[in-house]
Structure 1
């Protein structure tokens, strides 16, 4: 295909500070060129995520220089091949891992590339993919099911894959009881995936809209965290505590509640990111009840492939996941809407064409 010389991209020129508002613009920039082992992808869809908001708000540091392209939930079509790429063709429908692992370290060789010590994340540590085109490491491309719309395919690369990896870390299975703390985009998909695994689910949030949505998505019970005594109420609902809990908020108090909601022998998996230290039950109680506390970060290429297989088989339905489809020009306002929760979106997605 004939490629343009330039493209449009959403770029952060200045993060928010105490003195100034953030500056996010839609710019015309040179088209990137794929290096050896890379492909150029024409982006068809890219999700809008709270991580974008964290970079814009100055909570998460941006890459080494500004302006920087934002975004890290892409799906699209291969537009050009770099030298050495043999397994992909122009026109292939693809998504790819949001991080850029080295591919050769111990963790990458073990298939745990999310723990690569030199990895960098698109839109956070280097230029992202909220643009008309983006380059991707051909080693970490994943083919898309033929009938899957690009907007649904895009959100799998974070909003679905991150909770899926967490549920695998937590070890969720049939006949288990599960508590999900935080019912935003990640937490809602954790509810969906835990039900798919055969678990009974309790959803916890402070938003009535999110609580009702979780029930509609299959949660067996919900708890309004604004009413207090969260762990006690979960233990009452689950007859002594849940087998597994998942925290998608990143606050010390929700981590504490996730631990305290467990039955003896239970496991809490923490996904939410925050700077504070974890403080929870006394060490003696933690030991006596054989409590497990684990972290879960991102996902792997294998996770992504497994999810697309679930979608292709008809077992995983993502038709309700995308609540807003936007143009690139609407991206700056989408960040505002995400921060204010205007319209209570699950996932907003910028789409290009199809």
Structure 2
């Protein structure tokens, strides 16, 4: 296929600071060329995530230089193949892991590439993929089901894969009780996936719209976190506490709720990112109840492949997950809508023409 010389890309020119607002623009930039072991993908869809907001707001440091392309939830079609790539061809429908691990360290060799100490996350540490074209390491490509729309395929690469990895870390199974604290894009998919695993689910959030959506997506009970005694209410609803809890907010108070909502022997899995130190139950109680507290970060290539298999088998329905589809010109306003929760989106996705 004939490739253009330039493409449109959403780039951060200046993060938000006390001196002024952020500066995000849609720029015309050169189309990148794939290096050895890489492919060039014509991006067909790219989701917008709270992590984009963190970079734009200056909470998460951006890469070594500005302007920087944002975005890390891509799906598309291979447009060109670099040297040394033997298993992929132009025209293949693909997604890929949002981080760029080394592939050689002990973690990568063990299939835990999300813990690679030299990994670089697209849109955070290096140029991202909110653009008409993007390069990808061929080692971390995953094929897409033939009938899966690109917008749904794109959000799997974070909004679905991150909670899926967390549920695997937490060990969710049939007849377990589960609390999901924070019902944004990741938390809503945690509800969906926990129900798929056969668990009874309690959803927790401060927004009425999110609580109603959680019930519509299968949650058995919901708890309004604007009221006092969240953990106590969860224990009441589950007759003593949940087997597993999952925290998707990243605040000290919600981590505390995740721990206090557990029954003895329970496990809390923390996914939300935040700067505060964890403070929860007294050490003696933590020990006496054999409480487990674990972290969960990102996902692996295996997780991504398993999710696309679930979709292809008809077991996982993501048709309600994309609440807005916008052109790249609307990306700056989409960031504002996500930050203000205008319209209560699950996932806003930028779509690109073929």
TM-score, length basis structure 2:
1.00
C-alpha RMSD of matched pairs (Å): 0.4
The structural deviation recorded for 1:318 is 0.1
Specify the alignment match of 2:133 in structure 1: 133
Q: Secondary structure at the match of 2:62?
A: coil
Specify the alignment match of 2:11 in structure 1: 11
Specify the alignment match of 2:154 in structure 1: 154
Specify the alignment match of 1:280 in structure 2: 280
Q: Residues 173-212 of structure 1: matches in 2 within 5 Å?
A: 173-212=173-212
Specify the alignment match of 2:293 in structure 1: 293
Q: Secondary structure at the match of 2:202?
A: strand
Specify the alignment match of 2:101 in structure 1: 101
Specify the alignment match of 1:120 in structure 2: 120
Specify the alignment match of 1:80 in structure 2: 80
The structural deviation recorded for 1:18 is 1.0
Equivalent pairs counted in the alignment come to 354
Specify the alignment match of 1:37 in structure 2: 37
Q: Secondary structure at the match of 1:227?
A: coil
The structural deviation recorded for 1:138 is 0.1
Off by >6 Å, runs of 4+ in structure 1: none
For 2:65 and 2:194, how far apart are their aligned partners in 1? 40
Q: Secondary structure at the match of 1:47?
A: strand
Specify the alignment match of 2:302 in structure 1: 302
For 2:353 and 2:5, how far apart are their aligned partners in 1? 19
Unmatched segments (≥5 aa) in structure 1? none
Residue deviations 1:159-205 (CA, integer Å, cap 9, x gap) = 00000000000000000000000000000000000000000000000
Specify the alignment match of 1:56 in structure 2: 56
Specify the alignment match of 1:20 in structure 2: 20
The structural deviation recorded for 1:19 is 1.5
Specify the alignment match of 1:232 in structure 2: 232
Q: Confirm whether residue 172 of structure 1 aligns to residue 172 of structure 2.
A: yes
For 1:18 and 1:345, how far apart are their aligned partners in 2? 28
The structural deviation recorded for 1:228 is 1.2
Q: Secondary structure at the match of 2:13?
A: strand
For 2:348 and 2:228, how far apart are their aligned partners in 1? 31
Specify the alignment match of 1:266 in structure 2: 266
For 1:276 and 1:180, how far apart are their aligned partners in 2? 20
Residue deviations 1:83-132 (CA, integer Å, cap 9, x gap) = 10000000000000000000000000000000000001000000000000
Specify the alignment match of 1:353 in structure 2: 353
Residue deviations 1:190-245 (CA, integer Å, cap 9, x gap) = 00000000000000000000000000000000000001100000000000000000
Unmatched segments (≥5 aa) in structure 2? none
Q: Secondary structure at the match of 1:297?
A: coil
The structural deviation recorded for 1:297 is 0.1
The structural deviation recorded for 1:80 is 0.4
Q: Secondary structure at the match of 1:19?
A: coil
